[in-house]
Chains A and B, each alone.
Chain A
Amino acid sequence: MDTFAALMHGFAVAITPYNLMWSLIGVTLGTAIGVLPGIGPALTVALLLPVTYGLEPTSAFIMFAGIYYGAMYGGSTTSILLNTPGESASIVTALDGHAMARKGRGAQALATAAIGSFVAGTIATIALTFVAPLMVKLALLFGPAEYFALMVLALTTVTAVLGASLSRGLASLLFGLALGLVGIDLQTGQARFSLGIPELLDGIDVVIVAVGLFAVGETLFTVSRHRFETEELYDLKGSKWMSKEDWSRSWKPWLRGTLLGFPIGALPAGGSEIPTFLSYLTEKRLSKNPEEFGHGAIEAVAGPEAANNASAAGVLAPLLALGLPTSATAAIMLAAFQQYGLQPGPLLFDNNPELVWGLIASLYIGNVMLLMLNLPLAGVWVKLLAIPRPWLFSGILLFATMGAYTLNNNIVDVAILWIIGIIGFGMRVFNVPVAPCIVGLILGPLAEQQFRRALTISQGDATIFVTHPISLALLLVAALLVLLPTFFRWKSLRDERAQASLDATHSTKAENV
């Protein structure tokens, strides 16, 4: 067990009081920036790079890793409490997390997110320790065709969030897909639907759309209904702690979320949103009470939160083993490695074992610290919801604007936020679900690029999607996911009709008699 000995050595490095201090600073800072919308771990690490120049590389990376994990923990807080996701990975959490908060179960939502993050983070870090090289080999099997199939699979998530009216759900999905088209087409450099506005050339940021639809749209709707509603929102009901039922409904989603998050995070173009979508879909399909989803199902918070934390560990696998950044934060950590003259990749484990294993060991420690920091904080955060409504919602609007502006230092983003906010309000008024729009916006552009990349490489031969075994398998699973529920619905509908006509004939007979 060579790895084990190396890991123990890593703990010896990480557990010195000096490095523990940097880890603590990192996780605290990470949690704080995760809570603030608009700034993510990528920007924070970039801002800290110059500051850490004089630091030992090991200490600096221990801090960076803390920031990265911490931001993943903190990201869920604003999603759940304020319906304002700070990062795209925590958008899914907002769907049911905020619904829980409205029902007065914000503390439980925060707790299941924090514990789920801990469980997922720890398991995924163990996986990173022992199977990183294997994971990386698997990841390289994914080419454009396989990615396209994965995107199609993730798109089936939309079937779980369509809502009561199929055509309204599809309208929302198509609107999201249309938003995703805006900007320069990567493959040809052609500007599409950018209306001659240079700020639109890079497309519309997912976070702005999510904050616009959720935070701004929801606030406008709340103010419009304010006079007519008697129900008190957000009032804490019962205990702050997770009940026995909460635990038993959470632990399986945590594990399943981890299982989805880690491998997809390790994919060079996997990202952290896709596993959260897939986790939501899985939980809804497996749940005994799928009708609760969208109205505060705890599984829908537990699963996606575990998935996004596991993917954060997954991202580190190709970064350390290949020097391959698969997220914005990883790209900056790569730049940081270079600042110290280190070259991540196959030789890093041999050349700088102290750094690599110290970093990995610090991830375990960071996870424990984050749990100790976040679980008690959950009780403090929910007190935010006791703020009188006028101040709470005005504050949400301020944070939404600030997030939009600081994203690119650009007033155009504030204008987009306003427009999307008005549309989000309209969607709430006319009963159009907002989740399909987000799914379309995130996955549409990825699917399109991979589809066209695959066909460029194969020079127009579309069989590439079915001749590659991984791609074929993913597409088949996607097809099953769409077709099976449709089939069952059709079957139960037919049975119902048969029953109804049977009843009808009975009753007519009865009348005749």
Chain B
Amino acid sequence: MYKSARLRVGETVVGLFTLGIGMFLAIDTWRTPPSAAVAVVGPGMFPTLIAIGMGIVGLQLLWEGYLHRFAEEDIPDLDWRAVGIVAAALASQIFLLEPLGWIICGTVVFTVAAMAFGSRRHVLNVVFGLLLTSVTYLVFDYGLDLDLPTGSLIEDVIAPTE
């Protein structure tokens, strides 16, 4: 396993991420106009310290990545497709939860995630998802007076407003 010209991926990714966040903190702090309110220690001190810390740790990680460039990668085998599917299902909630409501959206996530985990009993998954989301909706919205996202297709029907 020779990857001579490259840095080891693990350290490099973490290092770059840390450096990136540190740089964001530094630039944002530096560009914020000083507050008009008096403060003995201003709002910029802790961000500056953290940014410096992230700079040092980020560089250290890159250096470790360089030192270990001949070592074997310590990243396990990953099923990227499955991760992508679950991540996409969760992301869909951000946009669909409020328009479609908890029951439909939750069932979709449940079914898709179960599929990514290798379940092939799709119909059963849908039924089970519907059951779980409906029960939680009723418990939360009625029993506890909390607001789960309400869509106009299902929730309004099983739990009409008035």
Contacts and interface: CB of A to CB of B under 8 A. Distances in A.
B28 interface: yes
Identify which of B42, B77, B78, B119 gathers the most chain A CB atoms within 10 Å of its CB. Answer: B78
Interface residues of B, number: 73
Contacts of A33: 144
A188 B39 contact: yes
Given A224-B78, A429-B78, A219 B109 contact: no
Contacts of A9: none
B96 to A, nearest CB: 10
Given A47-B144, A227-B79, A395-B132, A411 B39 contact: no
A225 B113 contact: no
A402 B105 CA distance: 11
Contacts, number: 203
A178 B49 CA distance: 10
Contacts of B144: 33, 39, 44, 47
A414 interface: yes
Interface in B106-146: 106, 109-111, 113-119, 125, 128-129, 132-133, 136, 140, 144-146
A422 interface: yes
Given A178-B54, A223-B86, 18 more contacts: A168-B14, A174-B54, A178-B47, A188-B39, A226-B118, A228-B76, A390-B117, A390-B118, A397-B113, A398-B106, A398-B110, A398-B132, A401-B97, A406-B147, A414-B94, A421-B87, A431-B74, A452-B39
A142 interface: no
A361 B74 CA distance: 56
Interface of B: 10-11, 13-15, 17-18, 21-22, 24-25, 28-29, 32, 35, 37, 39-43, 46-47, 50, 53-54, 57-58, 60-61, 64, 74-80, 82-83, 86-87, 90-91, 93-94, 97-98, 102, 106, 109-111, 113-119, 125, 128-129, 132-133, 136, 140, 144-149
Nearest to B37: A188
B18 A175 contact: yes
B94 A418 contact: yes
26 contacts: A47-B146, A170-B53, A171-B14, A174-B57, A175-B21, A177-B46, A178-B22, A181-B46, A190-B35, A190-B43, A220-B87, A223-B79, A223-B86, A224-B83, A226-B118, A389-B117, A390-B115, A390-B117, A391-B119, A398-B133, A414-B94, A421-B87, A426-B17, A429-B76, A452-B39, A452-B40
A394 B113 CA distance: 5
A177 B50 contact: yes
Contact of A391 (B14, B102, B114): B114
A348 B113 CA distance: 54
Contacts of B32: 190, 192
Interface in A422-459: 422, 425-426, 429-432, 444, 448, 451-452, 455-456, 459
